C-alpha cells in the first residue's frame, strides 16, 4: 500500500522509506517466482516425458482450481456484486491476489509450446522480451492472458537457465556474483527513480503516453531481470556449501502455497475492516500486519493441508 498498489487505509499517511522498501522488495519478486516455475518445468521435462494433455490436466487441478475456489471466497468477502456475468468473469480471472494463478497457468501452457519450438533459445527470449515490453496494452485480454504476455519472458528465462545451468554457474565466479549484486543495486535504484519521474508526467492525453508506458515497462523488465539472475546466483552460491535442508524449512516450504493463498485475506481484513490502522498508526502498521499475517497464514495453510479437500487445493 505504501508503494501505491493498494489504497491507504483511513488515517494512514505515506511514508517515503516504506515506498522504497515496497518497491525494492517487489522489484523482482513475482518475476523470480515465475522464473522458478519455468526452471522446474524444464527439470521435469528432462527427467521424463510430459505430454501436453497431462500438463494441462495437472495445472488445471493444481493452479486453476484453487484460483477459482478461493476467488469465490474472496469475492464473497470483499467484492461488490453487480451482475452474474461480471461476478463469473472476476472469479475466472482470479480475484485480488489470485490473478497470479491464471497468469501462471498460461505461462506453463506457453512455456511448454516454446520448449518444443524449433528456434534458437536467444531468438525465443528476444521475441518474448518484445512481447513483455508491449504487454501493458494487452492487459485487456481475458483470463490474465495479457499478464502472461509479460511474465512469459521470465518463465522461459528459467527454462533457458536450467538448460545451460552448468555453464552459467561455471561462468559466474564469486567475484562476478558480487559484481552482479552491485549492478542490480545501481539498475534498480536508477530504474525506480526514472519510472517515478515518468509516472509524474501527465501523459494521459499526450502523444508520448504510449512511448512512456512502454519505456516504463522496459525499465521494469531490466531491473527485474537483473534481480532475478542475481537471486539465482546468490542462492546457488549459498547452497553450494550446505549439506542439507532442515526439517522445519521443508515443512514451511510445503505450506508456502497456502500462505500465499491466505495472506491477502488476512491483510485486507486487518487493514480495511478493523480499527488496527488507527490503533497502530502509519509507521507500525506494516510490521504489525506482517507479524500477525505470516503466522496466521501458516497455521491456516498447515491446518488446511491436513484435510482431504485441502490436499486437493493447496497440497
Per the listing, cell 505470516 goes with 294
CB-CB contact of 164 with 125 (8 Å): no
Compute the distance between CA of residue 87 and CA of residue 83 in angstroms, rounded to an integer.
6
User: Using CA of residue 18, residue 219, residue 130, residue 236, what is the dihedral sign?
Assistant: negative
pLDDT in tens, 220-258: 999 999 999 999 999 999 888 776 667 787 888 889 999
pLDDT in tens, 51-102: 999 999 999 999 999 999 999 999 999 988 889 999 999 999 999 999 999 9
pLDDT for the residue 201: 82
Residue 315: pLDDT over 90: no
* pLDDT for res 80: 86
> Is residue 284 a contact partner of residue 275, using CB atoms and an 8 Å limit?
no
Grid cell 502523444 in the structure block, residue: 207
Residue range 98-149, pLDDT digits in tens = 999 999 999 999 999 999 999 999 999 999 999 999 999 898 899 999 999 9
The reported pLDDT for the residue numbered 25 is 93
Q: How far apart are the first and last CA of the chain?
A: 30
d(CA 60, CA 70): 14
In eight-state DSSP terms, residue 139 is: G
Q: Say how far apart CA 74 and CA 70 lie, in whole Å.
A: 6
Summarize pLDDT for 180-206 with one digit per residue, the tens.
999 999 999 999 999 999 888 866 667
Distance CA 129, CA 149 (A): 9
Residues near 264 by beta carbon (within 8 Å), at least 6 away in sequence: 74, 96, 97
Tell me how crowded residue 253 is: count the other CB atoms within 10 A of its CB: 10
Look at residue 272 in the predicted model and tell me its pLDDT.
96
What pLDDT is stored for residue 88 in this prediction?
A: 95
Residues 6+ apart with CB under 8 A from 47: none
Q: State residue 176's pLDDT score.
A: 95
Checking if the pLDDT of 1 tops 70, the result is yes
Each residue of 256-306: pLDDT tens digit?
999 999 999 999 999 999 999 999 999 999 999 999 999 999 999 999 999
Structure-model confidence comparison of residues 25 and 199, the more confident one? 25
pLDDT in tens, 158-187: 999 999 999 999 999 999 999 999 999 999
Contact 296, 266 (CB under 8 A): yes
Condensed to tens digits (0 to 9), the pLDDT of residues 142-156 reads 999 999 999 999 999
**Confidence (pLDDT) at 202:** 62
- Give the mean pLDDT of 33-44: 96
Amino acid at each position: 500500500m505504501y508503494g501505491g498498489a493498494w489504497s491507504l487505509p483511513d488515517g494512514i499517511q505515506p511514508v517515503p522509506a516504506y515506498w522504497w522498501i515496497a518497491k525494492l522488495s517487489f522489484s523482482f519478486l513475482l518475476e523470480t517466482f515465475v522464473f522458478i516455475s519455468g526452471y522446474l518445468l524444464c527439470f521435469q521435462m528432462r527427467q521424463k516425458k510430459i505430454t501436453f494433455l497431462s500438463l494441462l490436466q495437472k495445472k488445471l487441478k493444481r493452479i486453476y482450481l484453487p484460483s477459482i475456489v478461493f476467488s469465490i471466497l474472496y469475492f464473497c468477502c470483499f467484492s461488490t456484486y453487480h451482475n452474474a456475468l461480471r461476478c463469473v468473469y472476476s472469479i475466472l480471472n482470479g480475484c485480488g491476489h489470485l490473478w497470479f494463478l491464471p497468469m501462471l497457468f498460461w505461462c506453463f501452457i506457453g512455456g511448454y509450446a516454446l520448449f518444443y519450438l524449433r528456434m534458437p533459445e536467444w531468438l525465443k527470449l528476444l521475441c518474448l522480451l518484445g512481447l513483455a515490453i508491449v504487454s501493458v496494452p494487452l492487459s485487456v485480454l481475458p483470463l490474465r492472458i495479457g499478464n502472461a504476455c509479460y511474465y512469459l519472458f521470465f518463465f522461459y528465462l528459467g527454462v533457458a537457465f536450467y538448460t545451460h545451468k552448468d555453464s552459467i554457474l561455471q561462468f559466474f565466479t564469486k567475484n562476478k556474483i558480487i559484481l552482479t549484486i552491485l549492478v542490480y543495486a545501481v539498475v534498480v535504484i536508477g530504474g525506480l527513480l526514472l519510472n517515478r519521474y515518468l509516472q509524474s508526467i501527465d501523459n494521459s492525453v499526450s502523444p508520448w503516453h504510449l512511448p512512456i508506458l512502454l519505456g516504463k515497462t522496459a525499465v521494469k523488465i531490466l531491473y527485474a531481470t537483473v534481480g532475478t539472475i542475481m537471486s539465482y546466483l546468490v542462492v546457488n552460491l549459498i547452497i553450494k556449501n550446505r549439506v542439507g535442508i532442515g526439517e522445519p524449512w521443508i515443512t514451511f516450504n510445503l505450506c508456502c502455497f497456502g500462505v500465499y493463498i491466505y495472506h491477502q485475506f488476512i491483510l485486507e481484513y486487518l487493514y480495511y475492516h478493523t480499527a488496527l490502522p488507527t490503533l497502530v498508526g502509519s509507521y507500525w502498521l506494516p510490521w504489525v500486519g506482517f507479524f500477525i499475517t505470516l503466522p496466521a497464514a501458516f497455521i491456516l495453510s498447515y491446518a488446511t493441508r491436513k484435510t482431504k479437500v485441502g490436499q486437493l487445493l493447496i497440497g
